[in-house]
Structure 1
């Protein structure tokens, strides 16, 4: 399962890098993102723009005050 810690990536470049990683995945895989805030804007962006994003299976948890772990699954269709 691909995992990407974006906390070290400049905020202006984060979404581009995430989209690149997601596009490179096989159907049925899940991209795990580690971020310093809850990635709600990214969730809405993916839901609106990426047909292969399985928004129903999306999950997020907060492991620390500055550590949010989000699961972005790619549909098998």
Structure 2
């Protein structure tokens, strides 16, 4: 079960990445941030992989649940 879930579908796009980074930074090691998005967050994955040392890219998952609903888990090492 995720430590924190953010539903970003109603959040303006320029506010999403800063919100995600702040929530991820607040997590304890070994926990997961779950985000619900209106598109597959591939750019976010690459951003985290390149810039966030504590991001566990090997255990990242993303699932399309419905049209306009993607759920991604961002694990923290």
Normalising by the smaller structure, the TM-score range is: over 0.9
In the TM superposition, what is the alpha-carbon distance from 1:59 to its structure 2 partner?
Answer: 0.3
SS of residue in 2 equivalent to 1:61: strand
| Deviation beyond 2 Å, 4+ runs, structure 1 | none
Query: Which residue of structure 2 aligns with residue 36 of structure 1?
Result: 38
SS of residue in 2 equivalent to 1:20: helix
Query: Which residue of structure 1 aligns with residue 76 of structure 2?
Result: 74
Unaligned runs of 5+ in 1: none
Aligned alpha-carbon RMSD (Å): 0.4
TM-score by length of 1: 0.96
TM-score by length of 2: 0.96
Query: Which residue of structure 2 aligns with residue 56 of structure 1?
Result: 58
SS of residue in 2 equivalent to 1:7: coil
